[in-house]
A = this chain, B = another copy of it.
Amino acid sequence: MGLTRAEIFSEEQNKLAAMFKLLAHPARIAILQYIAVNKTGICNDLIDELGLAQATVSQHLKELKTFGILKGKIEGKSVIYSIDPDMWITVRGNFAIFFAQEI
């Protein structure tokens, strides 16, 4: 049905999956890498960098911002996006815990 049956999984499993999903697209990876390197990024730069249409880039930025890994600051006509360090650390920590499992 295309609808994940989230209710049968634990909070932790759903949260982890949501984090993985956020990063499960090369455009969103590229956006985070660009902003990590340049410390900040505006939508226009990312349009050039990625080669996707403005609407598409804006949509990916929105997903990252809604999740909380990016924050946006309005500066004149532009929006300056940057990584939210707290969320970044949280996400990294959750992944680390997942991969710390003995196998």
Which residues of A are interface residues toward B (Cβ below 8 A)? 4-6, 8-10, 13-14, 16-18, 20-21, 23-30, 32-33, 36-37, 50-52, 83, 85, 88, 91-92, 95-96, 98-99, 101-103
Contacts and interface: CB of A to CB of B under 8 A. Distances in A.
Nearest to A100: B92
Contacts of A32: 101
Given A17-B29, A23-B20, A50 B8 contact: yes
B8 A29 contact: no
Contacts of A102: 36
Contacts of A29: 9, 13, 16-17, 20, 98
Contacts of A37: 101
